[in-house]
């Protein structure tokens, strides 16, 4: 008998039901390289109060959103997403600092409460910048299917994300000129 263990954004490992040795299944592994392997953490809805994007949600709205997020940890220097890769997840930075860069130019330094990854999900499905951990970081990730549910359930959040994506797209374009 086989059981499944969740390793991160869309990543599962098969494991014997009676033993701790987990074997990754590469075909299912879509977690960014370097994310820590962990059981799915329960995300405390109170964490979302500190995220500008979710401040308009009441406690009930944040509680409904929290189970759609998964915690992932990255060491300093690790790329969380890479420019031009396919992007199926959206991220909320809850600890540490990251930098967004495009063609070697730093676009933005992000701190806890910031979000990234929205451009790929809202756009053509490809990352427009790399995001690299400056310090050890913890992010909350939301896979695309849940992201679409969030858009439908909270159109005010979706509207703010779309505006952020437009602002960031303009920044990326300005580096290409």
Inter-residue contact 115 to 55 (CB < 8 Å): no
Residue 7 lies in a domain: no
Considering the chain, what percentage of its residues have pLDDT values greater than 90? 50
Residue 8 lies in a domain: no
Residue 22 lies in a domain: no
109 pLDDT tier (thresholds 50, 70, 90): very high
Residue 27 lies in a domain: no
- Per the structure, how many domains does the chain have? 1
Structural domain including 63 reads 39-176
CATH number at residue 156: 2.60.120.10
In this prediction, residue 165 carries a pLDDT of: 85
In this prediction, residue 64 carries a pLDDT of: 92
Residue 134 lies in a domain: yes
In this prediction, residue 174 carries a pLDDT of: 80
Residue 82 lies in a domain: yes
Residue 4 lies in a domain: no
In this prediction, residue 41 carries a pLDDT of: 61
Task: Return d(Cα 89, Cα 4) in angstroms, integer.
Answer: 21
Residue 20 lies in a domain: no
- The answer on pLDDT for 138 being more than 90 is yes
Token reading at 116: 């990234």
In this prediction, residue 177 carries a pLDDT of: 62
Which residue from 157, 142, 155 is spatially nearest to 55, judged by alpha carbons? 157
- The answer on pLDDT for 15 being more than 90 is no
In this prediction, residue 144 carries a pLDDT of: 85
Tens digits of residue pLDDT in 53-74: 998 899 999 999 999 999 999 9
- The answer on pLDDT for 90 being more than 60 is yes
Q: How many CA atoms lie within 13 A of 167 on its CB side?
A: 9
Quote the pTM value. 0.74
């Amino acid at each position: 008998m086989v059981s499944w263990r969740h390793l991160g954004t869309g990543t599962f490992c098969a494991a014997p039901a009676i033993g701790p040795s987990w074997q990754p299944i590469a075909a299912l592994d879509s977690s960014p390289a370097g994310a820590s392997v962990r059981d799915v953490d329960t995300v405390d809805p109170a964490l979302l109060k500190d995220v500008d994007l979710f401040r308009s949600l009441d406690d009930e709205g944040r509680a409904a959103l929290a189970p759609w997020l998964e915690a992932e940890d990255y060491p300093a220097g690790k790329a969380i997403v890479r420019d031009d890769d396919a992007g199926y997840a959206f991220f909320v930075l809850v600890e540490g600092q990251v930098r967004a860069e495009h063609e070697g130019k730093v676009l933005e330094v992000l701190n806890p409460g910031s979000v990234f990854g929205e451009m790929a999900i809202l756009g053509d499905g490809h990352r427009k910048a790399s995001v690299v951990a400056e310090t050890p970081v913890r992010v909350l990730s939301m896979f695309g299917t849940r992201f679409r549910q969030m858009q439908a359930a909270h159109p005010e959040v979706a509207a703010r994300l779309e505006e952020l994506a437009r602002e960031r797209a303009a920044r990326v374009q300005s580096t290409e000129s």
